[in-house]
């Protein structure tokens, strides 16, 4: 008698969802969070949320999610830039009322606001230098770039 090879037992139940579908809700929450100018680190620190490493794993494996994430980051950067304007325009908090009813400039608040704006602008320049960085130009421009010439000297004896 010839023994028949055993067939592998089929798993019972529904097949597992692909990772993109399984984590679609968390991915959408991350995209919404990032597009509001908030950090991924703060999102992952919330109780019950995915880890920082898991998100970067998804970014490596899922090109569509990575593209959405990049667009959300760009939108988030615009939100941060708008926050700078809001901070600069808040004048009411720049003055404090003294005990005798007079108003006095709150220098500490003004300096703190300045620091908040400068920090955001520096981060934006690092994160997205093409859009928010300083444009440095040595000489020339896009149509007339700087020409480099090699000059050789003849030694006269």
| pLDDT tens column, 4-24 | 656 667 777 776 655 556 688
Please give the span between the terminal C-alpha atoms of the chain, in angstroms, as a whole number: 104
Q: How much is the pTM?
A: 0.68
- Residues comprising the chain, all counted: 157
The secondary element (H helix, E strand) that includes residue 103 is strand 103-105
- Sequential DSSP letters for 87-98: HHH--GGGEEE-
pLDDT of the residue at 55:
94
pLDDT tens-digit profile of 123-156? 999 999 988 888 766 666 667 666 666 666 665 6
């Amino acid at each position: 008698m010839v023994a028949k090879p055993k067939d592998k037992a089929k798993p019972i139940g529904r097949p597992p969802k692909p990772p993109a579908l399984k984590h679609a809700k968390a991915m959408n929450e991350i995209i919404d969070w990032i597009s509001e100018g908030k950090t991924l680190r703060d999102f992952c620190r919330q109780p019950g949320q995915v880890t920082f490493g898991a998100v970067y794993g998804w970014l490596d494996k899922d090109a569509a999610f990575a593209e959405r994430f990049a667009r959300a980051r760009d939108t988030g950067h615009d939100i941060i830039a708008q926050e700078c304007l809001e901070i600069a325009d808040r004048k009411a908090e720049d003055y404090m009322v003294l005990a005798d009813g007079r108003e006095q400039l709150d220098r500490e608040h003004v300096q703190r606001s300045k620091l908040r704006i400068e920090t955001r602008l520096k981060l934006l320049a690092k994160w997205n230098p093409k859009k928010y960085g300083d444009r440095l130009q040595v000489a020339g421009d896009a149509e007339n770039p700087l020409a480099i010439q090699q000059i050789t000297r003849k030694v006269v004896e």
